[in-house]
Amino acid sequence: MNIVQIVSEAVPFCKTGGLADVAGSLPLALASEGHDVSIILPYYTAKISSKKHKIKDAGQKIKVAIGNREVEGELFTCKLARNVNAYLIKQDQFFGRPELYQTPEGDYPDNAERFIFFTRAALYVASTIQPDIIHCHDWQTALAPVYLKSIYKNLKAFAGTKTLLTIHNLGYQGLFSHNDMQLTGLGWEYFTFDKLEFYGKLNFLKGGIAFADGISTVSRKYAEEILTQEYGCGLENALAFRKNVLTGIVNGIDYAEWNPSLDANLTAKFSAKDIKGKSANKEAVQKAYKLPVKANVPLIGIISRLTSQKGFDLLETAMPELMKQDIQIVILGTGEKKYHEMLLRVAKEYPSKLGVRVAFDNTLAHQIEAGSDMFLMPSRYEPCGLNQLISLKYGTLPIVRATGGLDDTIQNKVNGFKFSEYSAAAMLACIGEALDAFKKPDQWKKLMQTAFACDFSWGASAKAYVELYKKMMKS
Ligand code: ADP
């Protein structure tokens, strides 16, 4: 199959979250299944080094109509693997900025224009490839299926092309003023409640949901949850209307990067067969966070964006109770200021129990995964979640709320601990069960071995995507 991925961020070029991990790993896994894959993304020239990635100028200009003006971009390319090509679209006014989507002051005000330009330029590139599948991701590229069913309906290059939209997080929809409709090049007949209109605004993701041939989310449970009012972010009815083409495929992780027996970031390497090295990593993390070095005190890790989605309001409520226990907690994260302040305040009060680092630090993330005994993810919602999968690989038992991908991948008291109700009390009870189990070394070792044995590599997920692509091509 000839597969084109259109995406706004991808490892190894640039990353703000799990989307980039998926967009980096999936093409390689599809290619190893024998498919030709192209990945098209914006060329963020302030973030992406042309030298490091050996990016070449294709010498081609791309002109896109945006409203009543024309914007010109340039095409650059590089090779990621034998049958994986990357296409980067350069347009410095749009993408030569310090960040991808926003600054601390808020979203870039011209995000609609930026991603209309990118999506249309990417479709021009895709038309030269004549793909079987165009796979787009999240709101940034969700207009691609709309264009294929409207402006490009009769384009020969897309005659046999099917579109898949993957929703990585329904909380971000690309919501803009109705005035931006004229930038899309689509007629006002598309601005209706069953297409792109959402309470008087223009909603990119809703357009993708209405027009894609297939829709997927990054776990089975999340695909069910988003049909409910509680998790649907206002799009539950639009999704229910397309329920027959909605599926969930859980993400994998890259075991070349996340593997405790190969991980150069660790103080000591270890594996399921020989876990001795894990204790040296625990000691290193305790030292890094200036906590007392104690082997027998359970160490709980958290690596996360500090937002309410990730359950930090529960943690705030539970802190006084948690700090009474004989435990240590280490937190690495960036995000909302109110959570920075809350965590730093508690850490000041309990310096021997809580360590907080407000930073984005990949090396430290590896060390925490390796050194912790448990990993806490009390998310309000979690489309897939990568950290619980990483934790399993490092024999660190996840304590999770039963939502989205956390529910699909963690079984209570089998490879971790799980609670259902979104409350501090339910979370505390679940942590209590994990602490009890930690006191019984035989039981704990058995749980660790089950965790080590879990396989969430990309192979199985890529096969599921291939099956989905094939099904779409037959329909
Ligand atoms: P989301 O995409 O919702 O932020 P995921 O669990 O899907 O959550 O993916 C987050 C990714 O970003 C993981 O690889 C995680 O380790 C990483 N990450 C998040 N915060 C930090 C941080 N402060 N430092 C280092 N890595 C981080």
417-468 pLDDT, tens digit each = 999 999 999 999 999 999 999 999 999 999 999 999 999 999 999 999 999 9
CATH number at residue 320: 3.40.50.2000
Neighbours of 420 (CB within 10 A): 12
Q: Tell me: the pLDDT tens digits for 37-88?
A: 999 999 999 999 999 999 999 999 999 999 999 999 999 999 999 999 999 9
In Å, how far from its chain's centre is CA 9?
A: 10
C-alpha distances (whole Å) from 190 to each of 196, 211, 294 are: 6, 11, 62
Residues counted in the chain: 475
Which residue, chain included where needed, has tokens 């249309």? 120
Looking at the domain assignment, is residue 58 inside a domain? yes
Radius of gyration for the alpha carbons in the chain, expressed in angstroms and rounded? 23
**Looking at the domain assignment, is residue 433 inside a domain?**
yes
**Ligand 1 pocket residue status of 387, Cβ below 6 Å:** yes
- The whole-number pLDDT of residue 127 equals 97
Mean pLDDT of 5-29: 94
User: Ligand 1 within 6 A of 378 CB?
Assistant: no
Residue 403 belongs to what H/E stretch? Answer: none
Q: What pLDDT score does 17 carry? A: 84
Under the banding of pLDDT at 50, 70 and 90, the label for residue 103 is confident
- State in Å: Cα 18 to ligand 1 middle: 6
Distance CA 144, CA 105 (A): 29
Number of H-type helices and E-type strands within the chain: 17, 20
Report the C-alpha dihedral over residues 386, 390, 396, 402, rounded to 10 degrees.
Answer: 20
| The pLDDT value given to residue 134 | 98
Is there a domain that residue 260 lies in? no
264, part of any domain: no
270 within a domain of the structure (yes/no): no
Please give the order of strands across the beta sheet that includes 374-377: 354-358, 328-335, 299-306, 374-377, 397-401, 417-419
The share of the chain scoring above pLDDT 90, in percent, equals 95
Helix axes 458-474, 18-32, angle to 10 degrees: 80
Whether 262 is covered by a domain: the verdict is: no
Whether 367 lines ligand 1, by a CB cut-off of 6 Å, is: no
Structure tokens at 9: 């961020």
In the predicted model, is pLDDT for residue 18 greater than 90? no
55 and 155, same structural domain? yes
Whether the CB of 22 sits within 6 Å of ligand 1: no
Residues 370 and 239 occupy one common structural domain: no
Mean pLDDT of 153-181: 97
For residues 295 and 248, state if they share a domain. Answer: no
Please give the Cα distance from 34 to 132 (Å, whole number). Answer: 14
pLDDT class of 130 with cuts at 50, 70, 90: very high
- Ligand 1 centre and the CA of 344: distance in Å? 20
Tell whether 25 and 143 lie within a shared domain.
Answer: yes
Closest approach atom of ligand 1 to CA 388: 6
Please give the model's pTM, rounded to 2 decimal places.
0.94
pLDDT at 398 over 90: yes
Residue 32 lies in a domain: yes
Residue ranges making up the domain that contains 67: 2-252+459-474
Ligand 1, atom 16, lies closest to the CA of 387
CA 132 to CA 162: how far, in whole Å? 6
Q: Is the pLDDT of residue 104 over 80?
A: no
Please give the tally of structural domains in the chain: 2
CB of 7 closer than 6 angstroms to any ligand 1 atom? no
Residue 218 Cα: closest atom of ligand 1: 7
Q: 232 C-alpha to center of ligand 1: Å?
A: 23
Mean pLDDT for the chain?
A: 97
- The alpha carbon of 360 and the centre of ligand 1 are apart by a number of angstroms equal to 9
148 and 39, same domain (yes or no): yes
Position 257 in a domain:
no
Distances (CA, A) of 194 to 135, 158, 180, 186, 213: 22, 24, 18, 15, 16
Q: Same domain for 82 and 193?
A: yes
Instruction: Say yes or no: 322 and 389 in one domain.
Output: yes
Q: Are residues 247 and 303 in the same domain?
A: no
244 in the same domain as 304: no
The answer on 468 and 445 residing in a single domain is: no
301 pocket-lining for ligand 1 (C-beta < 6 Å)? no
In short, whether 257's Cβ falls inside 6 Å of ligand 1 is no
What single DSSP character describes residue 308?
A: G
303 lines ligand 1 (CB under 6 A): yes
Q: Which residues contact 120 (CB under 8 A, 6 or more apart)?
A: 64, 65, 147, 185
- In 91-234, DSSP assigns E strands to 102-103, 106-107, 133-137, 162-167, 175-176, 197-198, 201-203, 214-217
238 and 285 in a single domain? The answer is no
242 C-alpha to ligand 1 centroid (Å)? 30
Top mutation candidate among 381, 387, 389, 393 for ligand 1, by most atoms within 8 Å of CB: 387
422 and 321 inside one domain: yes
Q: Look at the block and give the residue holding tokens 């799990």.
A: 18
Residue 330 corresponds to which tokens in the numbers above?
A: 């280490």
CA-wise closest residue to 101 among 17, 31, 180, 161: 17
